[in-house]
Amino acid sequence: MVKKLVWILLLALMIAGSASAEFDYRKIGVGLKTGFAVSNVDFYPDRNFSRNGFVIGVVADYPLQSYLNIQTDFLIAAKGFDGPDTTYTFTWTDPLTKKFQSQTDSASWSTMVWYFEIPVTAKFTIIPRGKYRPYITGGGFWALPVNKKQRFSAISLTFDTGLENVRKFDWGVSLGTGIDIKAGRGWLNFDVRYDLSTQSLLKNTDYYSRAWLFRVGYRRPLGAF
């Protein structure tokens, strides 16, 4: 269902674009966006907790109609989740006494993956005139993991490991809302986006990533520089 929704949104965007006026590169709005992401996964077998991570990147926005824009970002976004506290028993052989030893600790672990992400969305402006212009967005995103880390922490030790079983490619649906505020020759922007992944975060699992992105940015048309 999620995959079908992505293709429906992209098809609607292409149809709207074909009906737009002649392309004018000076109308392309470019700028920066930054913020943070609150992410988790679905279908994890035990209780788990959200992780917070940063989001930063550049944005490009082009008007197709007065109420409709196509928008894309080039982002670095951190997504992951925290596993539940678990009791672990560590065992070893004492080198002096040669006796078997064991110790039980309460331990926790967390997973974080940094993605290079490219969302492509249709932006529908609810009020297309005036200084304040609220809107909604819908489309898809494609992401490649560029770094990943799992941290294991117990009373007696803490160590980081790489996650070789992270999928090499992710994509899904991106839905959001926000507001553009006229500021000088450009636009100040606040938005909230919800990403629903169609791919499991880890291979051979059903841990589908879900993330809320809260961002602020500023963009200006190329013709205004």
Q: What whole-number distance in Å separates Cα of residue 111 and Cα of residue 207?
A: 12
pLDDT of residue 86 exceeding 80, the answer is no
Of 63-72, 106-115, 117-126, 160-169, which gets the smallest average pLDDT? 160-169
* Average pLDDT over all residues of the chain: 81
pLDDT of residue 204: 74
Query: What average pLDDT score do residues 84-88 get?
Result: 62
Query: What average pLDDT score do residues 212-220 get?
Result: 96
CA distance to 69, 170, 186, per residue, from 118 (Å):
16, 11, 23
CA distance to 77, 166, 209, per residue, from 204 (Å):
23, 10, 14
What are the structural domains, with CATH classification, of the chain?
A: 2-17+29-84+102-224 (2.40.160.20)
pLDDT of residue 112: 84
pTM above 0.85, yes or no: no
Residues 6+ apart with CB under 8 A from 35: 54, 55, 56, 213, 214, 215, 216
Query: What average pLDDT score do residues 50-64 get?
Result: 91
- The residues pairing with 91 across neighbouring beta strands, listed in sequence order, are 102
Residue of 213 and 90 predicted with greater confidence: 213
pLDDT of residue 35 exceeding 90, the answer is yes
137 confidence band (pLDDT: 50, 70, 90): very high
| pLDDT digits 0-9 by tens, 178-206 | 999 999 999 999 999 999 998 887 777 77
Closest CA to 169 of 110, 117, 112: 117
